[in-house]
Amino acid sequence: MNKLKLAYSTCPNDTFMFYGIAVGIFKPSFGFDIVLKDIEELNKLAFEGETDITKLSFFAYFKLADRYKILNSGAALGRGCGPLLIAKEEFDLKDLKNKKIAIPGENTTANLLFSIFCPECKNKKEVLFSEIENEILKGNVDAGVIIHETRFTYKLKGLKKLVDLGKFWERETGNPIPLGLIAVKREYENEGKEFDALLKKSIEYSFKHPDEAMPYIKKYAQEIDDNVINSHIQLYVNQFSIDLGEEGKKAIVDLYKKAFEAGLIKDYREDIFL
Q: Which residues are catalytic?
A: 148
Where do the H-state alpha helices sit in the chain?
A: 12-22, 39-47, 58-64, 109-117, 132-137, 165-173, 189-208, 210-220, 226-236, 239-242, 245-261
Among the listed residues 95, 238, 111, 87, the one whose alpha carbon sits nearest the alpha carbon of residue 176: 238
- 90-97 LR contacts (CB < 8 Å, sep 24+): 90/160, 90/162, 91/142, 91/162, 93/162, 93/163, 96/120, 96/121, 96/143, 97/121, 97/122
Residue 115 backbone zone (phi > 0: left; psi -120 to 50: alpha; other: beta): alpha
